[in-house]
Amino acid sequence: MTTWTSVRRCVAVLLLSGTAWLSTVTPAVAQRQSVPLDLPAGPALEGFDVFRLSNAGNGWFDTFHVEQTEPLDAVLEDGRLAGDTPMLVIETAAGALALVRDQMAFHHIAEGRAGGKDWMATF
Protein backbone atom coordinates (compact mmCIF):
# COMPACT_ATOMS: atom_id res chain seq x y z
CA MET A 1 0.00 0.00 0.00
CA THR A 2 1.34 3.41 -0.94
CA THR A 3 1.31 6.04 1.79
CA TRP A 4 1.35 9.83 1.36
CA THR A 5 4.93 9.86 2.71
CA SER A 6 6.11 7.48 -0.01
CA VAL A 7 4.16 9.45 -2.64
CA ARG A 8 5.94 12.67 -1.66
CA ARG A 9 9.26 10.93 -2.29
CA CYS A 10 8.26 9.63 -5.71
CA VAL A 11 8.70 11.43 -8.99
CA ALA A 12 5.99 13.54 -10.60
CA VAL A 13 5.31 14.02 -14.26
CA LEU A 14 5.97 17.52 -15.54
CA LEU A 15 2.83 19.55 -15.99
CA LEU A 16 1.60 19.79 -19.55
CA SER A 17 1.79 23.12 -21.32
CA GLY A 18 -1.51 24.87 -22.04
CA THR A 19 -1.27 24.08 -25.73
CA ALA A 20 -1.46 20.35 -25.07
CA TRP A 21 -4.95 20.81 -23.61
CA LEU A 22 -6.09 22.50 -26.84
CA SER A 23 -5.43 19.45 -29.00
CA THR A 24 -8.07 18.86 -31.61
CA VAL A 25 -10.16 15.72 -31.59
CA THR A 26 -9.12 13.28 -34.27
CA PRO A 27 -11.76 11.90 -36.62
CA ALA A 28 -11.34 8.43 -35.08
CA VAL A 29 -12.26 9.84 -31.67
CA ALA A 30 -15.20 11.85 -32.98
CA GLN A 31 -16.68 8.75 -34.65
CA ARG A 32 -15.60 6.40 -31.86
CA GLN A 33 -14.15 3.81 -34.20
CA SER A 34 -11.18 1.83 -33.02
CA VAL A 35 -8.05 2.03 -35.13
CA PRO A 36 -6.76 -1.38 -36.28
CA LEU A 37 -3.79 -2.68 -34.33
CA ASP A 38 -0.40 -2.58 -36.01
CA LEU A 39 1.30 -5.68 -34.62
CA PRO A 40 4.77 -6.89 -35.60
CA ALA A 41 5.05 -10.11 -37.59
CA GLY A 42 6.23 -13.16 -35.73
CA PRO A 43 5.44 -14.92 -32.49
CA ALA A 44 4.65 -13.05 -29.29
CA LEU A 45 6.98 -13.21 -26.33
CA GLU A 46 6.56 -16.18 -24.04
CA GLY A 47 3.70 -15.62 -21.61
CA PHE A 48 1.85 -13.11 -23.80
CA ASP A 49 -1.70 -14.27 -24.50
CA VAL A 50 -2.69 -12.68 -27.82
CA PHE A 51 -6.29 -13.81 -27.30
CA ARG A 52 -6.61 -11.34 -24.39
CA LEU A 53 -5.55 -8.46 -26.68
CA SER A 54 -8.25 -6.03 -27.76
CA ASN A 55 -8.16 -2.97 -29.95
CA ALA A 56 -11.30 -1.53 -28.32
CA GLY A 57 -10.72 2.22 -28.04
CA ASN A 58 -7.41 2.07 -29.92
CA GLY A 59 -6.78 5.53 -31.38
CA TRP A 60 -9.37 7.35 -29.24
CA PHE A 61 -6.83 9.19 -27.07
CA ASP A 62 -3.37 10.70 -27.53
CA THR A 63 -0.88 8.80 -25.38
CA PHE A 64 1.04 10.96 -22.89
CA HIS A 65 4.68 10.04 -23.62
CA VAL A 66 6.59 10.76 -20.40
CA GLU A 67 10.18 11.66 -21.20
CA GLN A 68 11.14 13.65 -18.11
CA THR A 69 10.14 13.53 -14.46
CA GLU A 70 10.93 15.61 -11.39
CA PRO A 71 10.82 14.85 -7.66
CA LEU A 72 7.33 15.51 -6.34
CA ASP A 73 8.70 17.47 -3.38
CA ALA A 74 10.40 19.90 -5.79
CA VAL A 75 7.27 20.70 -7.82
CA LEU A 76 5.26 21.12 -4.60
CA GLU A 77 7.90 23.41 -3.09
CA ASP A 78 8.13 25.52 -6.27
CA GLY A 79 4.36 25.96 -6.25
CA ARG A 80 3.93 24.33 -9.66
CA LEU A 81 1.61 21.77 -8.11
CA ALA A 82 -0.85 22.34 -5.28
CA GLY A 83 -0.62 20.01 -2.30
CA ASP A 84 -4.25 18.95 -2.70
CA THR A 85 -3.94 18.04 -6.40
CA PRO A 86 -5.43 14.57 -7.02
CA MET A 87 -2.69 12.18 -8.15
CA LEU A 88 -2.54 8.63 -9.48
CA VAL A 89 0.46 6.66 -8.22
CA ILE A 90 1.94 3.62 -9.94
CA GLU A 91 4.95 1.48 -9.15
CA THR A 92 7.64 1.26 -11.85
CA ALA A 93 11.02 -0.46 -12.01
CA ALA A 94 12.55 2.80 -10.70
CA GLY A 95 10.01 3.27 -7.88
CA ALA A 96 6.76 5.15 -7.45
CA LEU A 97 5.58 7.54 -10.15
CA ALA A 98 2.86 10.14 -9.46
CA LEU A 99 0.69 11.26 -12.38
CA VAL A 100 -1.68 14.24 -12.23
CA ARG A 101 -5.21 12.77 -12.34
CA ASP A 102 -6.62 15.55 -14.52
CA GLN A 103 -3.89 15.00 -17.12
CA MET A 104 -4.64 11.28 -17.10
CA ALA A 105 -8.37 12.00 -17.49
CA PHE A 106 -7.48 13.81 -20.73
CA HIS A 107 -4.94 11.31 -22.10
CA HIS A 108 -6.17 8.07 -20.46
CA ILE A 109 -2.83 6.45 -21.33
CA ALA A 110 0.69 7.40 -20.20
CA GLU A 111 3.86 5.52 -20.94
CA GLY A 112 7.56 5.87 -20.40
CA ARG A 113 10.70 4.04 -19.36
CA ALA A 114 12.14 3.73 -15.85
CA GLY A 115 14.90 1.58 -14.45
CA GLY A 116 15.57 0.16 -17.93
CA LYS A 117 11.98 -1.13 -18.28
CA ASP A 118 8.95 0.23 -20.10
CA TRP A 119 5.84 1.13 -18.10
CA MET A 120 2.28 2.08 -19.03
CA ALA A 121 -0.58 3.50 -16.97
CA THR A 122 -4.21 3.67 -18.07
CA PHE A 123 -7.14 5.52 -16.55
pLDDT of residue 31: 63
pLDDT of residue 115: 85
Which residues of the chain have a pLDDT value below 50? 1-26, 28-29
pLDDT of residue 48: 84
CA–CA distances in Å: residue 65 to residues 7, 16, 24, 48, 70: 21, 11, 17, 23, 15
pLDDT of residue 30: 54
C-alpha dihedral sign at 26, 27, 31, 36: negative
pLDDT of residue 21: 36
